[in-house]
Structure 1
């Protein structure tokens, strides 16, 4: 039996995924979480085999959640499930330790196949995700301006464009507000912007976030 934790900030999405997975005899959903922080706390005590993780969530977000999940429960398999199919998210999740990445539009059969594949020690990526990853790794030049950022700078940038305050970012990443602001200005300098608004516009342009 493969035990699964479903993580998404939208209750309808979580409920829908859980109900779909109920029909597979090899999979048991043992919990739901609406944030990365909640997922980490649950995983530390319940030790699910696989975490189905939304990428674009409030709070620490999918990338940092993936890192902390693997640090807390080394055997856990993180499978990203997101509507954000464009780079740089797939590469970021892969670098953070995710074992797979599928889109929310994937059919149930593909989700089940992905869960079983990562549980067996493999990796699974939807066809469009795999194509983008291949293009990104085969290319010798930067795909987007955001490729110039370090992993931590990217984490901060994602939080900023999702309207997380400097104090909240500091609390979630266990650093000072001064350090967060240093990251912000370094991000601005690398990307050639001078405000959170311009950073957000750039993030929208390159698919880092979706328009609401």
Structure 2
């Protein structure tokens, strides 16, 4: 099925990670496209595979889950991050959501509940236990870069320029040898990074920026 939810699983405990992957692969609407035990590799997988959802362990060696979530959410804002943890520590929860996570799940959750959370995150919903929700809401705002165009990668700038020239997703894909679906993911990332609602607004913002730097 082409409309399955693509998922990357990140956890440095192999047995637990394998269990999560096995449980998710049992769902007909899920497709696990990658797995790793490190935050650094998770960022590379996010950029390469652009999954709809990333399940991310909070406590890892090297980059921890919070650091990884922040880097992934900046590089690939269209990827919904679901944090996996053994702790309901409120400070960690708040840090996770500040870093860009959409869900915070205890590792003792059932496979059915985890599947429900993944679907909710992919649909843009936020998940957190009711007891912690109130304390989380006061600290959700994230600082944004003064110039959002600086957040775009070289590839995203290339695609934005083609959007500004009136190319469709399919035409852009044909021009730079990527699939139409991959271009769609790139466009979603671009719109979210620029905090605009449409391709037209993104192109106008880029054009205003170009005029301002001449």
Q: Same fold (TM over 0.5)?
A: yes
Q: Answer yes or no: is the 8 Å Cα contact 1:91–1:133 preserved in 2.
A: no
Report 1:14-53 matches (<5 A): 14-53=17-56
Count of aligned positions: 136
TM-score using structure 1 length? 0.61
Q: Structure 2 CA distance, aligned partners of 1:64 and 1:4?
A: 19
Runs of 4+ residues over 4 Å off in structure 1: 135-138
Q: Which residue of 2 aligns with 1:69?
A: 72
TM-score using structure 2 length? 0.61
Q: Structure 1 CA distance, aligned partners of 2:69 and 2:17?
A: 18
| Alpha-carbon distance, 1:91 to partner | 0.6
C-alpha root-mean-square deviation of aligned residues, in Å?
1.6
| Alpha-carbon distance, 1:136 to partner | 5.9
| Alpha-carbon distance, 1:14 to partner | 0.6
Q: Which residue of 1 aligns with 2:198?
A: none
**Gapped regions of structure 2 (runs ≥ 5):** 144-214
Q: Which residue of 2 aligns with 1:9?
A: 12
Residues 1:78 and 2:78 aligned together: no
Q: Which residue of 1 aligns with 2:181?
A: none
**Gapped regions of structure 1 (runs ≥ 5):** 139-150, 152-212
Report 1:79-158 matches (<5 A): 79-125=82-128, 127=129, 130-135=130-135
Q: CA offsets, 1:15-63, max 9 Å, x none?
A: 0001111111000111111011010011111111100000011112111
Question: If you compute each CA radius of gyration, which structure gives the higher value, 1 or 2?
Answer: 2
Name the CA shift for 1:136/1:28 in 2 (closer, same or farther; >3 Å). closer
Q: Structure 2 CA distance, aligned partners of 1:99 and 1:89?
A: 13
